[in-house]
Structure 1
Amino acid sequence: MYPFKQTFFAIYFFATLLIIGGCSQEENQPNNNNENITKTTEETEINRDEDTPSPTEKQEKATHSLSELTVHYMDVGQADSTLLQYTDKGEEYTILIDAGNWNRDDVIHYLHSQNISEIDIAIGTHPDADHIGQLDKVISTFSVGEVWMSGNTSTSQTFQRLLQAIDQNEVDYYEPRRGDEFKVGPLQIDILYPISVSENDNEESISLKLTYGEVSFVFTGDASRNDELRMINGSIDVDAAILHLGHHGSNTSTHPAFLKEVSPEIAIYSAGKDNSYGHPHKEVVDLILGSNIRLYGTDVHGTIIVKTDGKNYEVLTKKDGKITPPTSGRVPLSKPEPTKKDKQEPGDKCMNINTASFEQLQEIIHLGPARAKELINLRPFTSIDELSRIKGIGPSRMEDIKAQNLACVGG
């Protein structure tokens, strides 16, 4: 069932005595085996007519005989979690990509509602708490065959709990890299990214192309636009019918060149309703709709389900809704001319990072307990940009922090 658990059997036949005993008769007796092989070939050629399927037609028939693959893009608020279910030759397969936010149990409840008891592969695209949030609970609640992670680490309690769950439940662990290929029953998995890791969590998200018959899906976690360009410059064809938009529809992802190469018919993003980050960003919505790609989002449609037999697919939504571009985006595609200093005047939603409490600081995106503690130790700050002094706060996360428009200095 699992791509790394294979058992090999070798059977040896010894016929020395028969060969020796039959050598004296070989010259005088016809080779019946060769005659039978020739006859079988001839009969195949003679009997093949217009009604006999060619190898290509047989392959097409095999594609049509695939069981139904169901892909659940769960509505888990401002977080990510996707469930895949299918069967092959009586064998059931279940794959989970990400596991929602750390402070909720909605992924666990949803898996129970689908009568899940075993998960073949659980994938945490990167260590952020809105992607691996409930993965420790998943491992402790269900029988998990393997866990795939990028290899990047985090000091967050969420990540530490996950490591403990993997160890305590003796779950197999693997870190996939670009170019890895796996067959999980009839499902083909191609790893698009990362090539290597360097603690740039978002930028080095596990990115996948899943192919079921003739229908393909692409997932990129929170990969950045630069990483998307690296994906399309690799040797793997990223063309797919369904694209899960990176980073919840943020404009830090979905480069136009990447979108063109994937050329999806459907784009889906996972985001919370009225989230503070402005996801999905206006630029991304405009790009998708302007490319005549159908757009679905969990904030508008609730849980989104795609069903396919490997040839055709259908999209089912829990709620009806239409996605229109927001009136403005939180983070522009290009850096604008500065209109105000980072040292902004405190407003109703402004949190002074020089005076905020340990608990309050954790309301700022990407500031878990460890980073909040480090922030306090590094005080005072003269600008928001100085938050990059905190370990793990790189350019992408700085953009997220500024987009949230919560942190400030002064006041």
Structure 2
Amino acid sequence: MEVHFIDVGQGDATLFLGPDFTILVDAGRHERNDVVPYLKNHGVSNIDLLIGTHPHADHIGQMDKVIENFDVAEVWMSGDEHTSQTFERVLDAILASEAEYYEPRAGETFHFNSALVEVLHPEMLTGDLNDGSVSLRFVYGDVKFILTGDVEHSERDIINRGYDLEADFFQLGHHGSSTSNTQAFLDAIKPDVAIYSAGANNSYGHPHVEVVNRLKNMDILLYGTDIHGSIIVKTDGQSYTIHTERNGTIQADHNDNEQGESKQDNVEETRRSNNSSTVDCIDINNASLEQLTAITHIGDARAAELIELRPFQSINKLTRITGIGSGRLNDIKEEGLACVN
């Protein structure tokens, strides 16, 4: 089997190409057109299973093109809905095709000939597009891979379900964000190799320096599409080799002076930008995306949505953001970082 972690910039697309199965997890960004050519260049003619982990445009961006260009037998999605044109295009493509549609749930297992697919998440619809990401463990012989889309806080739910999470490879959650990839989750997976998909010099600072250092301290090999290009793992089910499009080294502090600040760094920068020693909060109507992610429960996707929804008249209006309910709103207010000036 070959597993291709395709370089699609700041997005995700992972191809499992086996002797008797073809599975594609996510399909890159909506404003690019690189997934279909990549698949064709590697001899793909039909797809047994196409998975959109969640409805954000950096994950399902080219799913409609994939469906239109290949014979797709089955499509899986989380069941969460989005109002974006990208999501609508994907739904239209599914309906116009002959593909079967399914929404997998935690605890289910499926055989695709010699591949075993175990569903780790979600257990039910969460209403949170990131935390509702379809999360999977792929088993081929004795070699195992875990992919979790953009799951954040639900990592602990996956752990608490008591599944066997050990795997040789872990595709870092949320492009290597510090809102995912917790120490507890890494301890449960015990991967030999971690791989993330992110765009070069991306504005989110992915992978976050906290995660890179965490992996380094655990002696986990780290590869990234921003540094190595497309990454291909080849395995006979017993051993594996890793091939990269280009050479490079991921430094533990390679983003430290650019976009990879810790949350505390973001908070301190926000305090400085307010130019007042008496202001000790993040103004949600003026803060940058990176500064907003310092607020609890506000990851990259929610920060982007927050910016689109501005202005907010009060902190209470943060419930307009997908996945921010009364419970998370209370957490944000108790933390005391978010404010409206």
The bucket for the TM-score relative to the shorter chain is: 0.7 to 0.9
2:263 aligns with 332
Change (3 A) 1:344 1:150: closer
The alignment's TM-score, normalised by the length of structure 2, stands at: 0.82
1:56 aligns with none
The one-letter amino acid of 2:243's match is L
5 Å matches for 1:322-361?
322-326=249-253, 327=256, 329-332=260-263, 339=271, 340-343=280-283
1:280 aligns with 207
Identity %: 45
CA contact (8 A) 2:302 2:321 kept: no
The one-letter amino acid of 2:324's match is G
Change (3 A) 1:346 1:188: closer
CA RMSD after TM alignment: 2.9
1:115 aligns with 43
2:236 aligns with 309
2:185 aligns with 258
Of 160, 174, 192, the match for 2:120? 192
Residue 381 of structure 1 pairs with residue 312 of structure 2: yes
- In 2, distance between residues paired with 1:220 and 1:346? 32
Equivalent position SS for 1:315? strand
Q: Please list the CA deviations of residues 216-272 of structure 1 after superposition, one character each: whole Å capped at 9, or x if unmatched.
A: 000000001x31111122132000000000000000001101101100000000000
Of 133, 141, 154, the match for 1:213? 141
Change (3 A) 1:367 1:137: farther
Of 66, 74, 78, the match for 1:146? 74
CA contact (8 A) 1:301 1:320 kept: yes
The one-letter amino acid of 1:184's match is F
The alignment's TM-score, normalised by the length of structure 1, stands at: 0.69
5 Å matches for 1:231-250?
231-250=158-177
Of 317, 324, 338, the match for 1:394? 324
Q: What are structure 1's unaligned runs of at least 5 residues?
A: 1-68, 351-362, 399-407
Q: Report the count of equivalent residues.
A: 306
CA contact (8 A) 2:210 2:262 kept: no
- In 2, distance between residues paired with 1:344 and 1:232? 33
2:8 aligns with 76
What is the deviation of 1:330? 3.4
CA contact (8 A) 1:387 1:393 kept: no
Equivalent position SS for 1:130? helix
CA contact (8 A) 2:79 2:103 kept: yes
- In 2, distance between residues paired with 1:287 and 1:213? 29
Q: What are structure 2's unaligned runs of at least 5 residues?
A: 272-279, 290-300, 330-338
Change (3 A) 1:387 1:281: farther
CA contact (8 A) 1:252 1:333 kept: no
What is the deviation of 1:198? 2.6
- In 2, distance between residues paired with 1:193 and 1:131? 17
Change (3 A) 1:380 1:194: closer
What is the deviation of 1:391? 4.5
5 Å matches for 1:56-135?
69-87=1-19, 92-135=20-63
More displaced stretch, 335-344 vs 176-185? 335-344
CA contact (8 A) 1:152 1:201 kept: yes
2:218 aligns with 291
- In 1, distance between residues paired with 2:215 and 2:48? 33
The one-letter amino acid of 1:390's match is R
